[in-house]
């Protein structure tokens, strides 16, 4: 794959990061200009902040969602005028998922309940996982996932909630995970055949597995319901230190007409994590 190199797009400068501690000035800045999609951030990347504090820090940036949060946390977000773009179950597992028929009953009990709570709270999307292969053939994995997800997707349609399955890399972070290529996920979405079941296209994970990010988004955007960002390699900032050029990727997403949420899911390396997050939002503001 030909990477989206910074050098090939030098005319489009990335926003600069000022040196020093900007914690005190962030709240004084106006929100970053919003694109047509919503700005979100993944909770787990900033676990060293209490949720109340994180709400106070991110809202002035124009971030309207803190996601991968659970129903017990949603009232805190609401208190601060925020939402959760992507709700998760407190007992979710990445390795034990819908590709195991013996788990379908338990998983649907879990996710039917989450979908109902999401609908009641106005949360638009919930997340599910394929599980690890554990020797399972890819075609059978699609068949088994579809059989388990079809009832959930129909219930989600009734509730007005979207269900997404995340694409994860199995090379670095999640060995043996089955939904590790876009085409596998697309085939599953088509087999389920519900407008309320789509993919979470994680740009970091798919750059590691297959590259060709922009062309893939252009080809398969109708099957994608949510996006995550992070830098490659290392899952750190999405700035000029890594191999993907996010302004071009974000323009591609915008050009597809996407109006959902794009969530920052990188782990800041520096001491001023809020400055790094703000810069990530600025980079994505196309």
Domains (range + CATH), the chain? 31-284 (3.20.20.150)
pLDDT at 249: 97
Q: Is the pLDDT of residue 237 over 50?
A: yes
**Cα torsion angle, 98, 72, 76, 27, sign:** negative
* pLDDT reported for residue 27: 38
Residue 286: pLDDT band with limits 50, 70, 90:
confident
Mean pLDDT, rounded, for 192-201: 98
> Can you give the pLDDT at residue 19?
33
pLDDT for 111 beyond 50: yes
| pLDDT interval class at 30 (50, 70, 90) | low
pLDDT band, very low/low/confident/very high, at 14 (cuts 50, 70, 90): very low
pLDDT at 82 over 70: yes
SS3 assignment, position 74:
helix
Residue 162 binned pLDDT confidence (cut-offs 50, 70, 90): very high
Q: How confident is the model at residue 120 (pLDDT cuts 50, 70, 90)?
A: very high
Give me the mean pLDDT over the 15-43 stretch. 58
Contacts of 138 (CB under 8 A, 6+ apart): 178, 184
First CA to last CA distance, the chain: 25
**Residue pLDDT, tens place only, 164-188:** 999 999 999 999 999 999 999 999 9
- Cα–Cα nearest to 97, from 84, 78, 110: 110
| Neighbouring C-beta atoms of residue 84, cutoff 10 Å | 27
> Residue 50's pLDDT is what?
98
Residue 61's alpha-carbon distances to 18, 19, 106, 131, in angstroms, are 16, 18, 39, 35
Q: Cα(1)–Cα(15) distance, rounded to whole angstroms? A: 26
Instruction: State the pLDDT at residue 17.
Output: 36
Instruction: Confirm if 149 and 192 have CB atoms less than 8 A apart.
Output: yes
Mean pLDDT of 25-30: 44
The C-alpha atoms of residue 226 and residue 163 are separated, in whole angstroms, by 10
Q: What is the pLDDT of residue 271?
A: 93
Q: What is the pLDDT of residue 36?
A: 80
Higher pLDDT, 11 or 95: 95
The confidence score (pLDDT) of residue 20 equals 34
Q: Are 209 and 174 in contact (CB under 8 A)?
A: no
Q: Report yes or no: 265 and 238 within 8 Å, Cβ to Cβ.
A: no
- pLDDT band at residue 2, thresholds of 50, 70 and 90? very low
Lookup result for tokens 């085409």: 183
Angle at 190 between CA 95 and CA 168, to 5 degrees: 30
Length, in residues, of the chain:
286
- Range in 1-15, 131-145, 157-171, 240-254 the model is least confident about: 1-15
Mean pLDDT, all residues of the chain: 90
Handedness of CA 13, 14, 15, 19 (dihedral sign): negative
- Please tell me what DSSP assigns to residue 125: E
83 strand-pairing partners: 65
37-50: pLDDT as tens digits? 999 999 999 999 99
C-alpha torsion angle, residues 44, 163, 123, 115 (rounded to 10): -110
Asked if pLDDT for residue 278 goes beyond 70, the answer is yes
pLDDT band at 267 (very low <50, low <70, confident <90, very high): very high
Other CB atoms closer than 10 Å to residue 268's CB: what's the count?
18
């Amino acid at each position: 794959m030909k990477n989206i190199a910074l050098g090939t797009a030098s005319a489009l400068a990335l926003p600069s990061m000022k040196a020093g501690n900007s914690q005190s000035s962030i709240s004084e800045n106006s929100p970053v200009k919003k694109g047509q999609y919503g700005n979100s951030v993944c909770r787990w990347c900033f676990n060293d902040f209490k949720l109340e504090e994180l709400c106070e820090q991110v809202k002035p940036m124009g971030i309207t969602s803190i996601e991968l949060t659970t129903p017990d946390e949603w009232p805190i977000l609401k208190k601060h005028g925020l939402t959760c773009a992507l709700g998760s179950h407190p007992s979710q597992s990445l390795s034990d998922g819908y590709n195991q028929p013996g788990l379908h009953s338990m998983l649907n009990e879990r996710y039917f309940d989450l979908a109902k709570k999401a609908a009641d709270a106005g949360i638009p999307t919930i997340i599910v996982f394929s599980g690890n292969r554990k020797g399972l053939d890819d075609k059978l994995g699609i068949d088994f996932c579809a059989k388990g997800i079809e009832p959930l997707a129909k219930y989600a349609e009734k509730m007005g909630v979207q269900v997404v399955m995340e694409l994860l890399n199995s090379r670095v972070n999640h060995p043996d995970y089955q939904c590790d290529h876009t085409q596998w996920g697309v085939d599953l979405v088509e087999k389920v055949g519900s407008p309320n079941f789509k993919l979470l296209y994680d740009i970091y994970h798919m750059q590691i597995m297959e590259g060709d990010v922009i062309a893939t988004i252009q080809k398969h955007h109708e099957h994608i319901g949510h996006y995550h960002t992070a830098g490659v390699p290392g899952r750190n900032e999405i700035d000029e230190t890594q191999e993907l050029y996010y302004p071009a990727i974000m323009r591609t997403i915008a050009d597809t007409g996407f109006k959902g949420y794009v969530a920052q899911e990188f782990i800041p390396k520096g001491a001023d994590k809020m400055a790094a997050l703000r810069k990530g939002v600025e980079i994505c503001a196309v």
